[in-house]
Structure formats: C-alpha cells, structure tokens
C-alpha cells in the first residue's frame, strides 16, 4: 500500500506524533513545531512515517546509513583529532523546508551571490567601494585573503564568482539569516549529494513519496558553467585540483570529480608550459582549460603567492593572467570570506545593487572600528568571536564558553590586533528533529547552501548540507568540531517533473578522458605490486605455519630453510637468516611480527597499508565495490591482530585465510569491473611483475639447496602450496613429489595461472597494449623478452641437477630472472612515471614567507 495515500486517508493525529518526537519547545524556534506548538504541515508526513517505522527500525536504518557511508569510503578528517573516527556522519532524519519558504530563500541567495560577484569585481578592479568610503580601507588592506597579484585578472563571461556558499541559521523570529559566506572553494556540495544518495537508498519509499526536489540539476549547471569558462575553444579539459589525501574533504574532491566526469589532480600533476597549464599524463602533456579549485588560493602558485606551498602549480597565476586557463573560483576570491564585510553589507548592497538585501546577515561587529571594538570588549561574553581570515588552528570561539581569565586573554588579543577580529551575535538556530541515542531529540541546526553562476544569474542547489551537534553542550556547529550532517529536503508542492538534462549538457564529454595523470597510474601500479607482495608473503607464512604444526617434527635443516625463505621473500632481514638458534626454536613471535608490525618494512601489514594508501590516492578510479574491499582489508588486519595474540594462538594459518580471500576478491574485482584503460594495464603489470619476482624468490630460497629425498619433498610441497599448485600437481603426477616435476609445475606450466611463465606471458600482452609503442622494443620489453626466452630455453633435467649440495644451474637461472624482471620493473618506472624534482624557491626567504 502506498504510504502517502494512507496518510491522505487517515489524517495524522498530531498529539500522537508529539509523544513520538518531543514536546513543543517553550522557548526558541523549532523546525517541526510552529509558534503555537502545532506540528508544521510539511513535517507531518515524514514524522508519521517514522512513527510507523518505529524506533528499532529507525535505528536499523541509521546503522545501514553508517555502513553505506563507510563502504563508499565517505570520510571527513578532523585535524585536531587525527585518531578520531573519520567516517562521514549522516543523521537519518532530514531537515525539511517547504516550497514557499524555499522560494524566498532561493531568491535571497541568488541576490546575495550577485552581490558578492560585484563585490569581487570591485575589489580586484577599481575599488570604488573603498574610494567612496563604503568599505574602510583597513578592512580590505589588512585581510590576508586580499591577494594583490590578482588585480585585474578576469574570467570570461558575466560572472567572476562561480560558486557561492552560505551558512544559514534561523533567527528567533523565524527568519533565515546568513552567518557566513564561503567563496574560496565552498565545500559540502559533494557531501550533500552523497547524503542524498544514501537517504535515497535507506528510505526509498519515504523519499519517493515526499516529493523532494532533486539535486542533480545543480551539478549539471555547474558542469555546464565550467565548460562555458573554457578560454581555449574546443572541448574543455576540466580538472578538479585537490590538495590531496590529507585534506579533510578529500573524499568530496574525488566524489565530485567522478560525478562530474572530470579528472582529479594534485598540483604536482600539473605543469605550466609555454603559457598554458598541462596535465602530465602517461603519453605526454595534455592541456588543461578549466580548473575547479579545491586548493586555497594562496597555495596555488609559489611564484607569486605563498612561496613555500607544495600544493600549487608554479606559474599558474601568470597563465590565469594571460587568460589561458579559467580557475573557479578565481584566485583571490577568499577575500570575500572576511566576516567583517557583513558589518558593511547593507551599505555595500545599496551601492552595488541599489537596494537592501532580502535576507539579512547575522549582526556583526568589526573590531577595526573603534566603536565596535568597545562594544565587543564589553559584551564579549555573549558574542561569537571570529578571526577575519580562517586558517587551521584558528577557530571561532563563543564568549559564553570562556571563563573570566580566558575572556580577558581574548580581549587583550583582540585589542592588540583589532583589525583581525569580528564578533557576531550568537544565534542558537532552530531546533530540528534529530535521531540520537535511539530517540528523536531536538538539536540546533545550520544549513550550508550552494549557488552556481548559471546563464545570466545564479542557480541554487535545492537543498544543501544541514549540520547539527548531537552534544547539546557544544555551541558552535562545525564539521571540524564533530558536528553531524543531515540531508536537506526541499519539498515540492506537487511531484517534481523529471527534467531532462540533455538540452543543458550540449558539450560532449572530453575526448580522451582516459588520459590519467601519471601519478595516478603510478599509484595503480604500486597498488598491484603491494597487494601481490602482501599476498605472496601471506601464502608463504601460511605454508610455513602448516609445515611447522605438522604432527611429526621437521628436521632442523628444513625448518631453517623454510623460515629463512620468509625472511628472504619479505626482505625483513636479518630475521631468520641470523644464526640465533633461539629464533628457530620459537619462530612464532618473529613470524607474527612479519605479519602484523605495520612499522616494519616488508611486513604484511606494512605492504597492506601501503596498498590502502595508494588506493586512497586513486580513490576516484575505484568502483564502490572495490572501495568496500579496501575497507575490508583494514578491518581484516584489525581482526588478525586479535586472532594472533600470543595467548590465543591456535591454528594461525587459519587466521590468515580471510585476508587472503579479501585480496583475492580485490584481484577479482579489478579483473571483472575495471575498464581496460592504461590504469588497469599498469595495475596488472604491477601485480604480474611482483608475482614473478616472488615466485623466483621463493624458489631460490627453498629449492636451490638440495636435501635428502624426504626432506626435499617437504620443501617442494611447500613451494607448490605457496603457488596453490599442490592439488593440480597431485592430479597430474601420480608418482609422488619430485623436484623436476615440481619445477615444471611452478616455472614452466603455461596452464598454471601462478606459474612463472604465465606471469611473463601476461606481461608481454600488457606491454603490447601500452601507449606509444614504437617499432623498436622498449627497454622493459627487451628485458622481458630475454627473461621469457631464458626460461623457455631452460631444461628441467639440468635445473634439477645437484652438485656439491647445490642446484647451480637453477640458481643461475633464477638469479638471472630476478635481475631481468627487477630491472624491467624499474625501467617501467623510469619511462612512464614523473621523476621531476619538486620545485624550490630561487631565493629562499625563510622567515617572512610565513607571513604572506
């Protein structure tokens, strides 16, 4: 039965709902209750539906929400708490806004974006507002976001400000007010989209029947506008410039890049050549026409802006000046984030628009004005203190949270540097129904909205990113302080028509979107290598555990050979190659350290973490299923730590199985769901090269020294076990385990996907498919050819031959192969990956650069 029609037939009993949520508040505004304590009409359907679901079911949906976000890899880093849970937090109860109110909000936000656009043009142009005495000169000149080198740089088209974000809060009288503007690189739109996607999945019918305005139109307008900004003609190559994986919102950067179909790049992926910006791709430089910037403007160009920045592109500003690249938002736009501007906004609006703004800003005082300064110092206890320029570590403070001593300290700080601070009236914000500890509770909320320049004006995302504090004692709502987010539902009065986006998207997709930055390809290559390296190590460790735990005790020499193989294969020297007999008597602690010790180079955990790290770097290239498997690897590793506790140790080989399975799932996903572009080739090449090297290493460690027949059998069996070839071997050879047959199976059997020859053959295919393959074979190709030939020409009988307790021929061949394959891997790195040294400043001015 359709729940919406049920509702229509059975009008909700509001009293009933009140019991289900919380009683109407005595004080303050509430999103769900009107001033008379009645449930607002647009909330009734949602609350009724939640009530019919019941508490347990809502809690279940909350859990599902967490799971989906985690699987999507949705993270948000809190800088002050590096160890905190970094998952993006979404509360299952959305904020609802009815269409009448939204129409007003939308009009006001368009107006505000228009105003800020004109303001930006004036600041980097004629500065009429300063000239006319509307903006105090000190307000502008003392702001660190006022970037003088950006004077007179213009984007083409009617708007300079492409994206505008605003934080809205509901004042006690019920009206919306703007608390802050975001113009640098407004973040949150991607999180809002992710929230919507998750809500859609968790509450499919509730969502469908609520007639919620869709977000997708906003993003296609953004895409369209970025294409229109292309200064170079033709089909634009658009990139999203991210500071990288250590940025708090990296997830969003990758998510947006994928959703919009743009390449995600870091500063080092770009280079300025001949007055244009280029992306360093595998097969050469690709011109970049438009940059959607998520790096703070001051970090974007060490030549003209912050000299010690490693996140930017040297020379970028000059390219913007030449008009050869469009950057959105333009460099210098952080000047608009100065909250002191709010103090003068009514006059600015009169001067630039000729009218008052429809939506006021929260009352703000700027300490650079002497009257304001006195007022602020007197009333600090009731005000929100904000720096005029946001930077990490300098956050806003609420006076009421400070004791007298701290208040005095703040007063001194402000008086010493009055230009750098504003104070704002503290607006609690409206309470909104929020899921917390199994109940619906009222929590104050702030709404981040987004507008994008579109046609001749702006278009506003219908919705946005709502944030609440679950902890009622926390007064300031900010993601950096652990606030949680909510989806924002703008309810249409009637079911929204499906708008086809085709007419807007006139631009065809960029032609060679398969051109990846070489950094991405390098990370994929190493992901393949690390995954394989961890897997080989685990297979060997598992085999050795099995052999050691056999009922009959192994002879010492065999034992030593097996254990030394672990050290050789994982390169965790000296380990078992040292002559400590104690280690051989009680090998488990060392083996467990080789598995779990993340700090130890070569350990399984170390390789897995390196793999996860590489995955993070190429997040946008991985499917959500792959993302989930990568998450699982982290979890399995944690599980393994518990399973391998010394006291609880039993059947350790069993404990490794889930992790190996997860790695196989990873390999399977790559094989089944990754498009066969250069990224896939390189990941596979990494895997094949590594596996070949590990086979060679294992064989060299286990089979070069010759033993008595029985002992030999254990070692051959171990080699076969490592390569999952024992059962096929037994099927094929019914005459017991023999060295020549074992070598044939592991090295030359082309049907065995874990044989050495199989890896080399696969590599051959990949090499053939690489870009820019000239008639002459490349270095790595020649090396591979030599390795393959040497292997094919070898004679098993000769290899098996023993002299002086050693298989000399085998050792020679393996050592040659090790060299050839290892050198081929290096040659690939040399040829395809970026080896440019990082930039350095021509003149190093250590001290004052920090102040710029």
Partner 1 sequence: MKYRIIHSTRYRYALSVSNCYNLAYVLPRYTEKQRIDSIEVKVSPLATTRNMRTDYFGNQFLQFSIEKDHTELDVSITSEITIKDTAININLDFGNPCTYVKYLLKHSKDWETLCAREFMLDSPMVQQHPDLAEYAAASFPDDRPFLSAVMELTQRIFTDFIYDPEFSDVATPLADVLKYKRGVCQDFAHFAIGCLRSLGYPARYVSGYLETLPAPGQEKLIGADATHAWFAVYSPGEGWYEFDPTNNKITGEQHITTAWGRDYSDVAPLKGVIFGGGHSPQLFVSVDVRRIEDDFIPTQSQSQSQN
Residue 482: which region, alpha, beta or left (left: phi > 0; alpha: psi -120 to 50)? Answer: left
Among 23, 41, 54, 137, interactor with partner 1 by CB under 8 A? 137
Site for partner 1 contains 321 (CB under 8 A): yes
Nearer to partner 1, 808 or 839 (CB): 839
Nearer to partner 1, 373 or 814 (CB): 373
Nearer to partner 1, 419 or 544 (CB): 419
Q: Report the largest interatomic distance among the alpha carbons of the chain, rounded to a whole angstrom.
A: 99
CA–CA distance, 222 with 227 (Å, rounded to integer): 9
Binding mask 264-293 for partner 1 (x = CB under 8 A): --------xxxx------------------
Signed CA dihedral, 644, 649, 652, 658: sign only: negative
Nearer to partner 1, 585 or 835 (CB): 835
- Structural contact between residues 677 and 683, judged by C-beta atoms closer than 8 angstroms: no
Determine the Cα angle at 133 with ends 131 and 138, to 5°: 90
- Structural contact between residues 507 and 524, judged by C-beta atoms closer than 8 angstroms: no
Q: Cβ 185 to partner 1, closest distance in Å?
A: 23
CA–CA distance, 801 with 794 (Å, rounded to integer): 12
CA–CA distance, 159 with 153 (Å, rounded to integer): 13
Among 148, 497, 550, 553, interactor with partner 1 by CB under 8 A? 148
Among 304, 616, 620, 690, interactor with partner 1 by CB under 8 A? 304
Stretch that binds partner 1, among 255-263, 311-319, 373-381, 702-710 (CB under 8 A): 311-319
Site for partner 1 contains 830 (CB under 8 A): no
Binding mask 406-425 for partner 1 (x = CB under 8 A): -------------x------
Q: Cβ 830 to partner 1, closest distance in Å?
A: 16
Can you tell me which residue has the tokens 């539906």?
A: 49
Signed CA dihedral, 672, 676, 679, 685: sign only: positive
Determine the Cα angle at 424 with ends 418 and 427, to 5°: 165
Q: Which residues share a beta bridge with 167?
A: 180, 448
Can you tell me which residue has the tokens 């895409």?
A: 223
Q: Cβ 235 to partner 1, closest distance in Å?
A: 25
CA–CA distance, 545 with 188 (Å, rounded to integer): 49
Q: Cβ 262 to partner 1, closest distance in Å?
A: 25
Stretch that binds partner 1, among 333-341, 459-467, 748-756, 831-839 (CB under 8 A): 831-839
Site for partner 1 contains 244 (CB under 8 A): no
CA–CA distance, 257 with 621 (Å, rounded to integer): 10
Site for partner 1 contains 149 (CB under 8 A): yes
Among 243, 244, 314, 399, interactor with partner 1 by CB under 8 A? 314
How many residues appear in the chain? Answer: 852
Task: Give the count of beta carbons closer than 10 Å to the beta carbon of residue 297.
Answer: 25
Nearer to partner 1, 403 or 847 (CB): 847
Stretch that binds partner 1, among 145-153, 529-537, 634-642, 796-804 (CB under 8 A): 145-153
CA–CA distance, 487 with 197 (Å, rounded to integer): 10
CA–CA distance, 145 with 852 (Å, rounded to integer): 10
Binding mask 322-361 for partner 1 (x = CB under 8 A): x---------------------------------------
Q: Cβ 843 to partner 1, closest distance in Å?
A: 6
Q: Cβ 848 to partner 1, closest distance in Å?
A: 5
Task: Please give the helix or strand (H or E) that residue 266 lies within, else none.
Answer: strand 263-266
CA–CA distance, 284 with 709 (Å, rounded to integer): 56
Site for partner 1 contains 170 (CB under 8 A): no
Q: What's the DSSP call for residue 420?
A: G
CA–CA distance, 4 with 14 (Å, rounded to integer): 16
Interface with partner 1 (CB under 8 A), residue total: 39
Site for partner 1 contains 851 (CB under 8 A): yes
385 in helix, strand or coil? strand
* Interaction residues for partner 1, span 72-131 (CB under 8 A): 130-131
Among 38, 54, 80, 141, interactor with partner 1 by CB under 8 A? 141
Residues that bind partner 1 (CB under 8 A): 130-131, 133, 137-138, 141-142, 148-149, 151, 272-275, 302-304, 307, 314-315, 318, 321-322, 419, 836-843, 845-849, 851-852
């Amino acid at each position: 039965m359709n729940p919406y029609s049920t509702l229509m037939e059975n009008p909700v009993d509001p009293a009933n709902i009140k019991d289900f949520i919380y009683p109407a508040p005595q004080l303050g505004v509430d999103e769900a209750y009107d001033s008379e304590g009645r449930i607002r009409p647009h909330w009734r359907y949602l609350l009724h539906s939640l009530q019919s679901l019941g508490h347990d079911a809502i809690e279940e949906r909350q859990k599902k929400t967490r799971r989906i976000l985690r699987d999507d890899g949705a993270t948000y880093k809190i800088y002050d708490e590096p160890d905190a849970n970094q998952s993006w937090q979404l509360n299952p109860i959305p904020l609802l806004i009815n269409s009448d109110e939204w129409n007003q909000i939308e009009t006001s936000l368009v107006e505000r974006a228009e105003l800020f656009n004109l303001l930006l043009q004036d600041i980097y142009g004629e500065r009429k507002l300063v000239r006319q005495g509307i903006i105090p000169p000190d307000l502008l000149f003392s702001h660190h976001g006022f970037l003088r080198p950006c004077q007179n740089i213009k984007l083409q088209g009617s708007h300079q400000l492409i994206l505008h974000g605003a934080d809205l809060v509901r004042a006690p009288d019920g009206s919306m007010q703007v608390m802050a503007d975001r113009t640098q690189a407004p973040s949150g739109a991607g999180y809002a989209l992710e929230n919507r996607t998750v809500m859609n999945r968790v509450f499919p019918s509730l969502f469908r029947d609520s007639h919620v305005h869709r977000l997708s139109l906003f993003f296609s307008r953004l895409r369209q506008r970025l294409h229109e900004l292309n200064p170079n003609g033709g089909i634009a190559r658009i990139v999203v410039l991210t500071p990288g994986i250590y940025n708090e919102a990296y997830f969003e950067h990758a998510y947006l890049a994928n959703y919009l179909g743009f390449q995600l790049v870091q500063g080092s992926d770009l280079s300025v050549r001949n007055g244009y910006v280029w992306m360093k791709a595998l097969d050469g430089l690709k011109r970049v026409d438009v940059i959607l910037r998520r790096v703070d403007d001051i970090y974007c160009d060490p030549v003209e802006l912050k000299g010690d920045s490693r996140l930017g592109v040297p020379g970028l500003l000059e390219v913007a000046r030449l008009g050869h690249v469009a950057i959105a938002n333009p460099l210098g736009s952080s000047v608009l984030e100065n909250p002191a501007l709010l103090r003068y906004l009514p006059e600015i609006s009169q001067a630039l628009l000729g009218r008052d703004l429809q939506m006021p800003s929260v009352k703000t005082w700027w300490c650079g004005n002497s009257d304001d300064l006195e007022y602020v110092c007197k009333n600090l206890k009731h005000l929100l203190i904000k720096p005029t320029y946001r930077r990490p570590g300098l956050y806003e403070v609420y006076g009421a949270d400070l004791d007298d001593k701290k208040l005095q300290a703040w007063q001194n700080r402000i008086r010493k540097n009055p230009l750098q601070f504003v104070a704002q009236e503290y607006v609690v914000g409206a309470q909104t129904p929020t899921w917390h500890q199994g109940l619906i509770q009222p929590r104050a909320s702030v709404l981040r909205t987004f507008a994008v320049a579109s046609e001749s004006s702006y278009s506003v995302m219908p919705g946005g990113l709502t944030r609440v504090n679950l902890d009622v004692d926390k007064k300031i709502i900010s993601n950096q302080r652990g606030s949680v987010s909510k989806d924002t539902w703008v309810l249409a009065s009637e079911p929204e028509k499906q708008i086809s986006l085709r007419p807007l998207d006139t631009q065809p997709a960029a032609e060679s979107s398969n051109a990846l930055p070489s950094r991405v390809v390098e990370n994929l290559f190493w992901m393949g290598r690390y995954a394989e390296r961890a897997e080989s190590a685990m297979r060997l460790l598992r085999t050795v555990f099995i052999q050691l735990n056999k009922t009959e005790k192994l002879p010492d020499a065999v034992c030593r050979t097996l254990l030394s193989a672990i050290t050789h294969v994982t390169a965790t020297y000296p380990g078992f190659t040292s002559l400590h007999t104690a280690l051989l008597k009680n090998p488990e602690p060392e083996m467990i350290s080789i598995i779990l010790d993340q700090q130890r180079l070569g350990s399984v955990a170390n390789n897995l973490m390196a793999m996860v790290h590489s995955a993070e770097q190429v997040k946008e290239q991985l499917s959500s299923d792959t993302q989930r498997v990568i998450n699982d690897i982290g979890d399995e590793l944690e599980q393994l730590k518990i399973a391998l506790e010394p006291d609880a140790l039993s059947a350790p080989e069993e404990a490794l199985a889930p992790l190996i399975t997860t790695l196989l799932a990873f390999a399977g996903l790559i094989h089944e769901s990754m498009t066969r572009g250069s990224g896939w080739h390189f990941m596979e090449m990494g895997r094949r090269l590594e596996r070949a090297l590990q086979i060679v290493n294992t064989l060299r460690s286990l089979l070069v020294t010759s033993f008595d027949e029985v002992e030999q059998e254990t070692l051959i069996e171990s080699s076969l076990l490592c390569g999952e070839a024992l059962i096929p071997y037994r099927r094929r050879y019914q005459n017991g385990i023999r060295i020549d047959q074992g070598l044939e199976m592991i090295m030359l059997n082309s049907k065995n996907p874990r044989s050495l020859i199989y890896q080399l053959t696969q590599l051959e295919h990949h090499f053939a498919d690489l870009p820019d393959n000239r008639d002459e074979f490349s270095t790595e190709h020649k090396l591979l050819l030599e390795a393959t030939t040497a292997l094919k020409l070898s004679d098993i009988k000769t290899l098996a031959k023993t002299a002086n307790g050693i298989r000399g021929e085998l050792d020679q061949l393996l050592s040659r192969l090790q060299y050839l394959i290892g050198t081929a891997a290096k040659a690939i790195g040399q040829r395809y990956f970026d080896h440019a040294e990082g930039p350095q400043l021509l003149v190093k001015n250590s001290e004052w650069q920090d102040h710029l």
